[in-house]
A and B are shown apart, each in its own frame.
Chain A
Amino acid sequence: MPKSMSDLGRFSDPALLILSSLAGGPKHGYAMMEDIWQFSWTRLEPGTLYGALARLEQRGWIEPLAPLERRHPYRITAAGVSALQEQLATMSRIVATGQGRLQTT
């Protein structure tokens, strides 16, 4: 059984945002922060971002590419894609259930 995203504790939300951002293509840290702000209106702070990045890298869900100037771009791995899919599937079940129940009440 592969590890799930919720094992990341307080880093699970930033991890979800990072994986969603990298699903659109490789990015370095600052580009991820900007992208995440645009699609989720969440401002990740650098300390949190790198806490989550390091964990994702350790798990092999993302990997660094050759550095450009001082920065490593990161890309999502196949394992990262399936972890993201699993998490998003859980979330859509929650969304569907919650919305359905709100409509009936």
Chain B
Amino acid sequence: MILPDAPSVEDVFHGEKRLRVNWILRLYPSAWRQRYQEEMQALLELHTITAVTALDLLFGALDAWLDPAHRTKEGSMSQKFPDTLINSFSHFDKFSTRAKKVVSLALEEAQHLQHTTVGTEHLLLGLVREGESVAARVLEELGVTIEKVRKAVEEAKERGEGVVQIQIETGMAPFANKPENADDWYFSNDTAATENLLLGLLRAPESTAVQILQGMGVPPLKDIWRLMYLENMTTWQTSNQGYAQRFTKPAAKIEPRYRVGLKRSTATGSALH
């Protein structure tokens, strides 16, 4: 959170005799700012600013704080906008919560870059930004950072014609299908996880996302596949360790396969001491 800078005397009296009011926008709740700040700034650039404008904005900031919709991030407009968009596509029914979040972030990225279609490059940005999923961690290990991808996306967009843009409806379709060379394991349930999103991206070699990844020297699909498997195993082991630590020492000595049923009694009391 950036604290508002108090306006200096110079700000108020110089600069073509214009009152500088942008600092007031920093007094608005962050959820409000995420949604409206940019367009408000664009508007203020065109508006004749007077003392009334400044006062009105101060009231506006107070009003926004009093409005519960802007106080919490969850209830903010900026969250609602992509979510309603996502919910309107039935394709997303079978997406895991994280995968939905990735798509939501992808929409945000596309909006932020002022792109009118959501392409594979935005999904890649979403995957990297989500940060916690297996796919995100694999990308992180490969040195794919959000800054690098954003820069590459902006460069690719400037190039214009080489950009392959996939509309969100059609772009989502491949992720529901099993890649030919993939293990059944990931596709054994109905839900599309973030891993499926990444694999789906990589299956479209002509896509902007793959071109960006290749530009960063990311290995081909079969190696990413292996990395994801390893990452998943690590997650499984880590969570297993956490599970094991919940047992008292005597309980831990019991054969692992018998432990499951003992979980509650040993974790909460000392039944086996």
| Co-assembled chains A and B | yes
Task: Name A's B-contacting residues (CB within 8 A).
Answer: 28-30, 33, 45-51, 53-55, 57-58, 64, 66-72
A69 touches B42 (CB 8 A): yes
The one of B46, B63, B64, B111 that contacts A67, using a Cβ cutoff of 8 Å: B111
A70 touches B64 (CB 8 A): no
CA gap between A51 and B44 in the complex, in Å? 15
Query: Which chain A residues lie closer than 8 Å to B100 at the CB level?
Result: none
A47 touches B39 (CB 8 A): no
B2 interfacial contact with A, CB 8 Å: no
B56 touches A54 (CB 8 A): no
B59 touches A67 (CB 8 A): no
Query: Which chain A residues lie closer than 8 Å to B69 at the CB level?
Result: 54, 58
CA gap between A58 and B40 in the complex, in Å? 18
Can you list, as one digit per residue, whether each of B93-128 has a CB less than 8 Å from chain A (1) or not (0)?
Answer: 000000000000000000100101000000000000
Give the distance to chain B from A8, nearest Cβ to Cβ, in Å. 12
A71 touches B60 (CB 8 A): no
A-B contact pairs, 19 of them (CB 8 A): A29-B40, A30-B42, A30-B46, A30-B47, A33-B47, A45-B53, A46-B40, A46-B56, A47-B53, A47-B58, A47-B63, A54-B70, A54-B77, A67-B111, A67-B114, A71-B38, A71-B39, A71-B42, A71-B43
Give the distance to chain B from A45, nearest Cβ to Cβ, in Å. 4
B1 interfacial contact with A, CB 8 Å: no
Give the distance to chain B from A68, nearest Cβ to Cβ, in Å. 8
B32 interfacial contact with A, CB 8 Å: yes
Complex: chain B residue closest to A68, CB-CB = B114
Most B-side CB within 10 Å, residue of A29, A49, A64, A69: A29
Sorted from nearest, which 3 A-B pairs have the closest CB atoms?
A47-B60, A45-B56, A47-B56
Task: Name B's A-contacting residues (CB within 8 A).
Answer: 32, 36, 38-44, 46-47, 52-53, 56-61, 63-64, 67, 69-70, 77, 81, 111, 114, 116
Give the distance to chain A from B104, nearest Cβ to Cβ, in Å. 16
CA gap between A66 and B36 in the complex, in Å? 13
A46 touches B44 (CB 8 A): yes
A69 with B47, Cβ < 8 A, contacts A28-B39, A51-B60 known: no
Give the distance to chain A from B59, nearest Cβ to Cβ, in Å. 6
Query: Which chain B residues lie closer than 8 Å to A66 at the CB level?
Result: 111, 116
Give the distance to chain B from A35, nearest Cβ to Cβ, in Å. 13
Query: Which chain A residues lie closer than 8 Å to B58 at the CB level?
Result: 47
A54 with B47, Cβ < 8 A, contacts A30-B42, A48-B56, A70-B41 known: no
Query: Which chain A residues lie closer than 8 Å to B44 at the CB level?
Result: 46
CA gap between A29 and B67 in the complex, in Å? 20
Query: Which chain B residues lie closer than 8 Å to A70 at the CB level?
Result: 38-39, 41-42, 114
Complex: chain A residue closest to B84, CB-CB = A63
CA gap between A29 and B43 in the complex, in Å? 7
